[in-house]
Structure 1
Amino acid sequence: MAEIKLATEVRTEFGKGAARRIRRANQVPGVVYGHGADPVHVTLPGHALLLALRTPNVLIGLQVDGKDALVIPKAVQRDPLRGDIEHVDLLTVKRGEKVDVEVAVEVEGDLAPGANLLEYVMNTLRIQAEATNIPESVTVSVQGMEAGRSIFAKDIPLPTGAVLVDDPEAVVLSVVTAQAEPASDEAAEGEEA
């Protein structure tokens, strides 16, 4: 995974008023923490951060207080109406360090012929992977699966070096039989006539 560099400034103003001023300047307030160090409150460029966060589990390179820091997003708060980023929590990581992250579950292949539906019980899977080698997603094949079959977390192939954190017996995907829609009264009357 490529590392994205972002410019940061340490912020000294706190509270709602300061956060609003930061957002009006098209920047995002955030906090960098981890490895037992004191949290550092920072200001990040809004548009560049928005673009960086389009990649799941993105690795971001920052310069905080004159020191280089490698971080991953831990929590992102968004405006519920506009979707703008209001605040971001960033976790400091080191190269070679293992971190717990959620990755999307992607499906490939076609189900067995018939009226079957694929039900996602879990959209993401929690894994532990090296901070500089976090996969964007995991892929599982559903080729030829029939109704009544399920795929468990332990059945999903993980990238080299990744370890499953979720319960191995947790159902991730399930194939169910499609329910037939009951005929409406008008359609039934039309058939009788």
Structure 2
Amino acid sequence: MAITLSPVRAFGVLALVLAGCASTTASLTAPQELTAADGSKQVSSATAALVCGQPRCPQLTARWSSLRAGVAMLTIGVPYQTSTITRAEFHFGSNQVIRLMLPSAEQPAPGNDPATTFDAPLSLIHAMAYSANGWVKVVMANGAMVQETLRDGEVKSQAVDAMREFLRAVDTATGKPADERGSGGGLFDLFK
């Protein structure tokens, strides 16, 4: 039995097939969950990129420990750079800006590309995962800057999906619903 399609329908089917092949959304690795030797629960996200039109695209990874439940350790890396990352600014909506300027005490192992870990409130991770639009500016020690999109009205980055999965894993690890996540994560939690 042969299937015959009109030229218009054949074009539509071809467009759907090509759209599926051209999709830039790669499947992300699920967050890693483990229990440390001290009994604390820990969660690490997949490393994921922003929406970029250039090779030096910022990559984000988040880690969380039940020892500091309101705080995430957010690692920001920028490929093809030699200068260290000194700060990052996360912009959401028309006027919300969250600046990360103090590196965490726990830094990633040196690699080919610079990466810096910052202590960040879980509310920042939540904003990355669920805000309607947002972008990030990463500033290097040599003055260079990279500005790229987290999400806008048309596209969303892999980082958005990675942070959403990370938060789900944190909620599972704490055993609390997402609406109770808001307790903690403020300035004083960064000093614990």
The TM-score range, normalised by the shorter chain, is under 0.3
Q: Kindly indicate which of the two structures has a greater share of residues assigned to strand.
A: 1
Whichever structure has more helix as a proportion of its residues is 2
Larger radius of gyration: 1
Q: What's the TM-score once normalised by structure 1's chain length?
A: 0.25
TM-score, length basis structure 2: 0.25
